[in-house]
Amino acid sequence: MRRQWVPPQHGAWAMLAVPLLAGLLTAGCRWPDLPLAGAWLAGYLLSYFAFLAIKTRRPGRYRAQLLLYGAVAGVLTAAVVAARPAVLWYAPAYAVLVAANAWFAARRRERALLGGVASVLQSCLMVFVVATVAGKPPATVLGAFLLCLGYFAGTVLYVKTMIRERGNPAFKRWSIACHAVALAVAAWVTLWAVPLFGWLLVRAAVLPGRGWTPKRVGLVEMANCVLLLACVTAL
By C-alpha distance, which of 103, 102, 151 is closest to 123?
151
Using CA atoms, how far apart are residues 44 and 165, in angstroms rounded to an integer? 26
49 C-beta neighbours (distance < 10 Å), count: 22
Using a 10 angstrom Cβ sphere, with 0-12 exposed, 13-18 middle and 19 or more buried, the burial of residue 142 is middle
Angle, helices 214-233 vs 194-206, to 10°: value is 160
Q: What is the pLDDT of residue 58?
A: 83
The pTM score is: 0.93
CA neighbours closer than 13 Å in the CB half-sphere of residue 123: 27
Using CA atoms, how far apart are residues 28 and 50, in angstroms rounded to an integer? 32
43 in Cβ contact with 51 (< 8 Å): no
Q: What is the pLDDT of residue 3?
A: 67
CA neighbours closer than 13 Å in the CB half-sphere of residue 12: 16
Cα angle for residues 224, 225, 229 (degrees, 5° grid)? 115
Domain extents in the chain: 2-233
42 in Cβ contact with 72 (< 8 Å): yes
Q: What is the pLDDT of residue 45?
A: 93
79 C-beta neighbours (distance < 10 Å), count: 17
114 C-beta neighbours (distance < 10 Å), count: 12
22 in Cβ contact with 227 (< 8 Å): no
Q: What residues have CB less than 8 Å from 140, skipping those under 6 apart? A: 26, 27, 131
26 in Cβ contact with 140 (< 8 Å): yes
Which residues of the chain have a pLDDT value below 50?
Answer: none
182 in Cβ contact with 198 (< 8 Å): no
18 in Cβ contact with 228 (< 8 Å): yes
Q: What is the pLDDT of residue 211?
A: 83
